[in-house]
Structure 1
Amino acid sequence: MAEQTTQSNRVDAQKLDPNMKLEQTGELGLKWLSPKERPFRLSGFPWFHQDGVYRRMPVQPKHELPPAVNQLANSTAGGQIAFRTDSPRLAIRVELTGKANMYHMPATGQCGFDIYLGEPGDQQYFGTTRYDHTQLSYEVVLYEFPNTELRHVTLNFPLYQGVKEVSIGIAAGSRIEEPLPYRTGKKVIVYGTSITQGGCATRPGMAYTNILSRRIPLEFVNLGFSGNGRGEPEVARVLTEIEDPALLVLDYEANAVGVELMKRTLPEFIRIYREAHPGVPILVVSKIQYARERFEPALLRLRLDMKKVEMDTVEMYRSQGDANIHFFDGTALLGTDSYNECTVDGVHPTDLGFLRMADTLTPVLQELLHRELT
């Protein structure tokens, strides 16, 4: 009797709510295309032309990467597919390298794609892949319209898993065209932590680098490495290989562990990068406030001490004549009030937290990139 009661009380919202049912594609008669080929544009994978895989670091780097960074580079955070099509129906077929496996981040953010429609400057969210998160592959209809019309499409890659293969399905007889070009061919490179990578956004488009990419018409390269963005010199040397940088953002304080590590890594990271790119603006961003700081004074002191190291390092370079290095106080990134309501675990932002971060950083980046945007 007790077992029957338990069964009757069990809730399965996907069966009870039609809005939560998984997509069933069936036989759609679509033509499947690879985004690796023109006229599709792939962004966020600087070494794709060399290695041909969806990866954020080179497969065989000239400088040996820390093992964890090398593995995390297979997460496709920040990757994007852009194109235009007049197909009334659009679908996606995805083969993942791993399943969703986190307790505090939805499968849609870890392993899903989301879609934005509209030209740069007017990209509007349309939907997210609804798939069985227990599977390693899925096929989902992204949209189905009654009319044929040329639409500008941007798809954001998963944030916390890798993608072996992805294909785009369009109706037979429909056409694919190149997306509208970026303002320039230069890139904004953002190096940092799990927060940079997008943990714990509910869907890829809500990672703060992806939000910024919709506001600033340049390619963004997300080099956030969960728990492992620690400012290693080997990583700095690999970053110097990325061609046509417009700006380097360093947002790795949260992984630097302590003051001594930050003192040792930050000046050297900047030195290595500056030798290769003497005129590229560099923005050092200190970390967000953690919720526990209100109750643990030692945690607050650590953040303030780390921030001072970053400020002092930037000031040292500026005093030596480097006017293209800047500091931004991350204390304000989540807002000055109710900031502790913007995370999923006291550390990693929710979508609201990421939106606040992007809102705060947008004018900062626009000012540093004014030459590229005018």
Structure 2
Amino acid sequence: MAVQSKEINLDQLGGTIYPETKNREQLKWYSPLEAPFHIAGFPWLAQDGVYRRLPLASRAVLPPAVDTLAYCTAGGQIRFRTNSSRLFIRVRLAGPANMHHMPSTGQCGFDCYLGEPENQYFLSTAIFKPTASEYESQLYQWETKKDVAVTLNFPLYQGVEEVWIGVDKDALICDAPAYASNKPVVIYGTSVTQGGCASRPGMAYSNILSRMIPVEFVNLGFSGNAKGEAELAHIISEVDEPALYILDYEGNTGEAENIARSLPVFIRILRERHPEVPILIVSRISNAGDRFYGERRELNNHRKLIQIENVKQRRAEGDSNIHFVDGSKLLGDDFASECTVDGIHPTDLGFLRMAQSLAPIIRPLLRL
């Protein structure tokens, strides 16, 4: 005899908690677009006034998908100090959570870290209903006022149209802690670079690196659509005074001839404007299927060899500031298949392994 199962509603069973925020009338709300807040990760924010990772107008014509993905706020951060006993966030998104393989907290949420550069600790993630395009959430509440340095990480896979920060009416808002250098690290790459499929924004590998190395990281990962287009190289070269370029886009290139064609051009365009800035080429991370599909391994090895040969040739021609990292080693040889959600996109563990592998390579390139 068949037994009819019941729909399980975790909201009703207490599995999900959407706390009611109290004493809202005692809060003062600020736009982080105003001083003394510091917003990182949006190089064209002062010019365009929107939370977008590429300029609204450019002489280069963007591929339509890249133009759309530029509104995803991956890598963006709000930084400040406060002595408020409470911290709230109010957000209006471009749309609700809609991804099957990524938590809504990673796609659409903000998370909160406290502490000075290189000494930050995770505290909380915004709580909201996945179907909501607007939400308000409390990030912390103390019994008394407490001076803290705050970093809020923007959502990874959704646009943010508006965000407000709520604190005690009499709280102070002060400048964020200074970086070790004002020059940003610019990372161009795939959905993995963008942060798919981190459980919350702070676990994208660019954000983990920002906690290990006290500089601004600009995340220019474009899910399925960073293919080394020359138009993107021209735009990326416009970022003021970059400290380092990381090119991590192999996974989107398909056949080997595509990266063989795009990579030398991409590098040349960057070098025309920034002849001495270090460039780090990172090949694709391991996927779960690599050990089972021989043709895939062959393609990966071919594309990797193309990247290695490009770096060797540039160095032979006198460019000592270009380097290569074997991305297949970043997750660890024995654990790569256990570090992904779907065989391709890392879990938080995968992103942590990536950052831990890359940090000791990146740090000396920045001469910090």
TM-score above 0.5: yes
Runs of 4+ more than 4 Å apart? none
What's the C-alpha RMSD, in Å, of the aligned pairs? 1.3
1:248-274 CA distances to partner (integer Å, 9 max, x unpaired)?
000000001111100100000000000
Residue 348 of structure 1 and its aligned partner are, at CA, apart by 0.3
Whether the 8 Å contact between 1:197 and 1:224 is mirrored in structure 2 is yes
> What's 1:117 paired with?
114
Cα distance in 2, alignment partners of residues 14 and 310 from structure 1: 50
TM-score (norm 1): 0.96
- 2:148 equivalent to 1:151: yes
Cα distance in 2, alignment partners of residues 181 and 53 from structure 1: 24
Question: Structure 2 regions of 5+ residues with no counterpart?
Answer: none
Give the share of equivalent positions with the same residue, in percent: 54
Cα distance in 2, alignment partners of residues 149 and 128 from structure 1: 19
- 2:89 equivalent to 1:92: yes
Pick the aligned partner of 1:129 from 126, 135, 138. Answer: 126
Question: Structure 1 regions of 5+ residues with no counterpart?
Answer: none
Pick the aligned partner of 2:50 from 43, 50, 53. Answer: 53
Cα distance in 2, alignment partners of residues 368 and 320 from structure 1: 20
One-letter code aligned to 1:23: P
**What's the secondary structure of 1:245's corresponding residue?**
coil
Pick the aligned partner of 2:20 from 24, 39, 43. Answer: 24
> What's 1:256 paired with?
253
Cα distance in 2, alignment partners of residues 121 and 216 from structure 1: 6
TM-score (norm 2): 0.98
Shifted more, 286-295 versus 305-314: the winner is: 286-295
> What's 2:99 paired with?
102
> What's 2:263 paired with?
266
- 2:255 equivalent to 1:276: no
> What's 2:323 paired with?
326
**What's the secondary structure of 2:239's corresponding residue?**
coil
Cα distance in 1, alignment partners of residues 20 and 329 from structure 2: 44
Pick the aligned partner of 1:42 from 35, 39, 42. Answer: 39
Residue 341 of structure 1 and its aligned partner are, at CA, apart by 0.6
Cα distance in 1, alignment partners of residues 298 and 146 from structure 2: 56
Residue 67 of structure 1 and its aligned partner are, at CA, apart by 0.8
Residue 69 of structure 1 and its aligned partner are, at CA, apart by 0.6
1:114-169 CA distances to partner (integer Å, 9 max, x unpaired)?
00011111100001011011011000011000011111100000000000000000
Cα distance in 1, alignment partners of residues 223 and 156 from structure 2: 11
1:269-297 CA distances to partner (integer Å, 9 max, x unpaired)?
00000010000000000011111111110
Cα distance in 1, alignment partners of residues 359 and 159 from structure 2: 28
Pick the aligned partner of 1:363 from 339, 360, 365. Answer: 360
Residue 11 of structure 1 and its aligned partner are, at CA, apart by 2.0
**What's the secondary structure of 1:262's corresponding residue?**
helix
Residue 26 of structure 1 and its aligned partner are, at CA, apart by 4.6
> What's 2:297 paired with?
300
Cα distance in 2, alignment partners of residues 60 and 321 from structure 1: 35
